[in-house]
Structure 1
């Protein structure tokens, strides 16, 4: 069974062919998002995205037989068909998009659409039974997996990026105070620019009078820049609080971090997050095994969503056949 798989992120657009648990024909380009193209309407950006999917499908289907298409998408996906929101791609746009219907108008194959963090979770569930996967990239989101399956309800489960955590910064979705506005890759840059006027160590930072972006902030953090460390620490206080609620309410004690921003910051970022959680939940440290595996920084995740989308397609095909 050959599945053409797409991982559509807020920053990158990936595609590959998934067959028998392996990925081939990997390709990565930029996603058409509202930040990169601020002068384009959302309808136009959606049209370009759909056109890109069609182009990849028709080019690949000329060379190989495809049995289905699976799409990992960065937003609320309802009934594996409707896109209700995708803030990292389209900002405040609230109109529901029936992506499956649009694609099926020209692609007469089974089409499977799922949230991108859910897709990554299917890949990670090969190694862990009960866990919460958290992506920290353009946006921030999560999914809880229990014995190989995500806990979902009409696409709502896992939208921690849009929980109000009580600050005054605007989220990509247009609301104030969301976790994603301070703890995602884009959010941390917003927070850094706000803290330039509040933290005295900014003047001694390598970022002083610089246009702060994810690249120079990550480098400064890794090099021990005190301002960059404080920015990351403050951003993680919000995330740690959400994780602590998860621990105490659901009993989840394994959190797997993915996403380009988290992976770029590395083990030091993982340690900072663990320490912030311990400040809120000192009971964890009494269980050394739990403490060591509380936060796991997943490695080599560039194709996780692609592989997870392929796994999802296989599972759904098996359910239909049986």
Structure 2
């Protein structure tokens, strides 16, 4: 008899994904994607209204998925810090901030009548990359709507019970008054500068500052008006090594490289896996640019050859949160998180 199916959900700032996870073969099927009904779709709504909309959306889609899958439990990979009992402390890319702490696990269990596990999306994704044959510590970094990270070491993700840890995206990089705004309400955070949204904003700013340079770039052929520029065009131009596009995102890559060197200096993490829509869309070119910055900045005690091995791309899909959430549920059995 096969193991029971689980419904897994990956709630991101841009996209909400649902899928069926099969523990017996460690796969996800019936993957469905819809735009998240949050701040990206309704930028003028207050946080409380966005929280209600997003929770209603998750609950409705989860109920439909549970019926399709015949699930015995649900796991939600959530784009923000989450406590051990499933309360969402913040969700800048989903509903802005700061807002009230939302008891996501409790509310979903009441609506679904099933055990629910809620963890940070990167905490979930980590478990996709844990290899029992290679227990070296690593840091998983997502470069997507925002920036997030989680460190895996000695069989666990390094977090406290209140969900703190792994929020490099809210490390302040630029302290100037005109620093780019972050979705959380702060300014100059790494996520505001180095995320996919931050890269697009940087490209538009560069176009306003240097209209002649923009006009000569591959970006102008796709979007003569830089305000109409989107991430698809920006990614294509960076992949093609367009000088203007590459220069526009260089500041964000430098900031991310600086964060990685600080992480290495603080706790000695030498393996960094990159996932997230923006980084994976740019692909090997992104890892190449980031590695070049790491070499330029240097990591105390490492040779250039060792630095070149620090960064690798994760799987070329957007299923890490789904698969990791499924593995986490399987490890916990059918019980809800404690």
TM-score, reference length from structure 2: 0.88
Question: In the superposition, relative to structure 1, how do residues 318 and 33 fare at CA in structure 2: closer, same or farther (>3 Å)?
Answer: closer
| C-alpha contact (below 8 Å) 2:138/2:272 kept by paired residues | yes
Q: Does 1:190 align with 2:193?
A: no
Question: In the superposition, relative to structure 1, how do residues 109 and 320 fare at CA in structure 2: closer, same or farther (>3 Å)?
Answer: closer
Deviations 1:159-200 (A, max 9, x none): 001010125111111111111111000011122222234457
CA distance in structure 1 between the aligned counterparts of 2:113 and 2:29, rounded to whole angstroms: 23
Q: How many aligned residue pairs are there?
A: 320
Equivalent position of 1:17 in the other structure: 20
Question: In the superposition, relative to structure 1, how do residues 301 and 124 fare at CA in structure 2: closer, same or farther (>3 Å)?
Answer: farther
Of residues 297-306 and 135-144 in structure 1, the stretch that sits farther from structure 2 once superposed is 297-306
Equivalent position of 1:311 in the other structure: 327
User: Aligned to 2:257, which of 240, 246, 259?
Assistant: 240
TM-score, reference length from structure 1: 0.92
Deviations 1:20-49 (A, max 9, x none): 122122111111121222344433333332
Instruction: Map 1:34-183 onto structure 2 (within 5 A).
Output: 34-126=39-131, 129=135, 130-153=137-160, 154-166=162-174, 167=176, 168-183=179-194
Question: In the superposition, relative to structure 1, how do residues 84 and 189 fare at CA in structure 2: closer, same or farther (>3 Å)?
Answer: same
Deviations 1:234-283 (A, max 9, x none): 21111111100011111111100000100111111111100101111166
Gaps of 5+ in 2: none
CA distance in structure 2 between the aligned counterparts of 1:230 and 1:52, rounded to whole angstroms: 39
Give, in angstroms, the shift of residue 100 of structure 1: 1.3
CA distance in structure 2 between the aligned counterparts of 1:282 and 1:67, rounded to whole angstroms: 47
More strand by share: 1
Q: What secondary structure sits across from 1:81 in the alignment?
A: coil
Gaps of 5+ in 1: none
| C-alpha contact (below 8 Å) 2:86/2:118 kept by paired residues | yes
Backbone CA RMSD of aligned residues: 2.2
| C-alpha contact (below 8 Å) 1:278/1:284 kept by paired residues | no
CA distance in structure 2 between the aligned counterparts of 1:197 and 1:51, rounded to whole angstroms: 40
User: Aligned to 1:266, which of 273, 276, 283?
Assistant: 283
| C-alpha contact (below 8 Å) 1:122/1:149 kept by paired residues | no
